[in-house]
Amino acid sequence: MKKILFRTALFTAIPIIFSSCNTNPTQAVATEKPQDYPVMTVRPESAMLHMDYPARLEGRQNIEIRPKVDGFIDKIYIEEGAIVRKGQPLFSIHAPQYEQEVKTATAAIRSAEAEMNLARMQVEKTGPLEKEGIISSYELKSAEYTLHAREATLAQAKASLANAKNNVGYTQITSPVDGVIGLIPYKTGSLVSSASPQALTTVSDIGEMIAYFSWNEKQYLDFTYSAEGAQLRDKLKSIPPVRLILANKQEYALKGKIESVGGLINTTTGSIPVRASFQNPARLLRTGASGLIRIPTHLKDAILVPAKVTFELQEKTFVYTVKKDGTVQSTEIQILNTAPDGRYVVGQGLAGGEQVVTEGLPSLKDGMRIRPVVK
């Protein structure tokens, strides 16, 4: 009797075991009662984005101040970082040899004038005599040639004086433009010349700053194909005013404009230089500073999703999309940029009309059936 009961129980349990072994986990999940999950429908929309590019800043003019004459620095009228005006004295160079050259040239002029006057008198004297036949025409021409030589000597002496005065003038160095003084490596008493390895200083005209940055080849081509205008200059004018983000992450108060694009693509880096200008009336920006150029870009029919609907797995970004049968599927997306409101701009992976789960992502898995609740 016990054997019969045991066999009956054994044959009853075998179908149950096989039945449990043949159950598909996905089917088991699908047969569970669907739970409510908030979802959103993705729809194309227009968006204003910004692209950031590392940039370096330089003044409109950066002029090295170098001496034209040899001598010792006698006086320094400015300090590093000072704001100067065009024509303002910067340095005085002690070079007495040039003052001596002025005196020498002045004396040479007087001597040349005296000799020229004597030669002229000789011409005036021999002229009438030659007419009366007292002397030959040869003597007259000789006197005239001597006069021409004395006139040339006088002109040469005057040129030497002008050159000597110019050299004296070069001992007083003034600013060629309005700007800000850079480093001053030489001190009073230093011997300097036009061949000195370092400039006396640098004057930077920073009333207007130039920001240099680069586009890669794709960005440049995208711009040329998408921007309005037939010529490049017209396309550049169509770019909205750009922003400058300073090194402390603060936004510069004044907007700038894109001025030009370089004519050559660097074959090593694949980039092309671009230049933007910013007014700098308060002299806040300085040459050598760094920052980011922020260019606004208008997108049509863009797909945007909140950051909270995404999750990362193995350095890839995913969202859970809802299929027609109510099951969810993890879908990889490519993020192009971030909109000012924090949403992600999706380049690939999503299309208009698809539904994306917005909450409860950690509890989801592929094939799980849900009841989507549109919010």
Delimit the domains of the chain by residue range. Answer: 29-47+301-374, 50-59+205-297, 67-94+171-198, 96-168
Of the candidates 119, 45, 65, the one whose C-alpha atom is nearest the C-alpha of residue 298 is 45
Query: H/E element holding 248?
Result: none
The phi-psi region of residue 132 (left if phi > 0; otherwise alpha if psi is between -120 and 50; otherwise beta) is alpha
pLDDT at residue 138, as a whole number: 83
Domain 50-59+205-297 fold: Elongation Factor Tu (Ef-tu); domain 3 (2.40.30)
What pLDDT is attached to residue 30?
Answer: 45
pLDDT in tens, the chain (375 residues): 444 433 444 444 444 444 444 445 444 444 568 899 999 999 998 888 888 999 999 988 889 999 999 999 999 999 998 989 999 999 999 988 888 899 999 999 999 999 999 989 988 888 887 787 777 888 888 888 998 999 999 999 999 999 989 889 899 999 998 889 999 999 999 999 988 999 999 998 888 999 999 999 988 988 888 788 888 888 888 888 999 999 999 999 999 999 999 989 998 999 999 999 999 998 889 888 999 999 988 778 889 999 999 999 988 999 999 999 999 999 999 988 888 888 998 988 999 999 999 999 999 999 999 999 987
**What would the pLDDT profile of 79-98 be if each residue is shown by its tens digit?**
998 989 999 999 999 988 88
Sign of CA dihedral 309, 312, 316, 321: negative
Q: What is the CATH number of domain 67-94+171-198?
A: 2.40.50.100
In sequence order, the 6+-apart residues with CB closer than 8 A to the CB of 53 are 213, 214, 215, 274, 292, 293, 295
Class of domain 96-168: mainly alpha
**Whether pTM exceeds 0.75:** no
Residue spans of beta strands (DSSP E) within the chain? 35-41, 45-65, 71-76, 83-84, 89-94, 172-174, 179-181, 191-192, 201-216, 243-246, 257-261, 271-279, 290-305, 310-313, 316-322, 328-338, 344-348, 355-357, 370-374
Q: State whether the Cα torsion 354-357-362-365 is positive or negative.
A: negative
Class of 29-47+301-374 per CATH?
mainly beta
Cα angle: 336, vertex 339, 341; to 5 degrees: 150
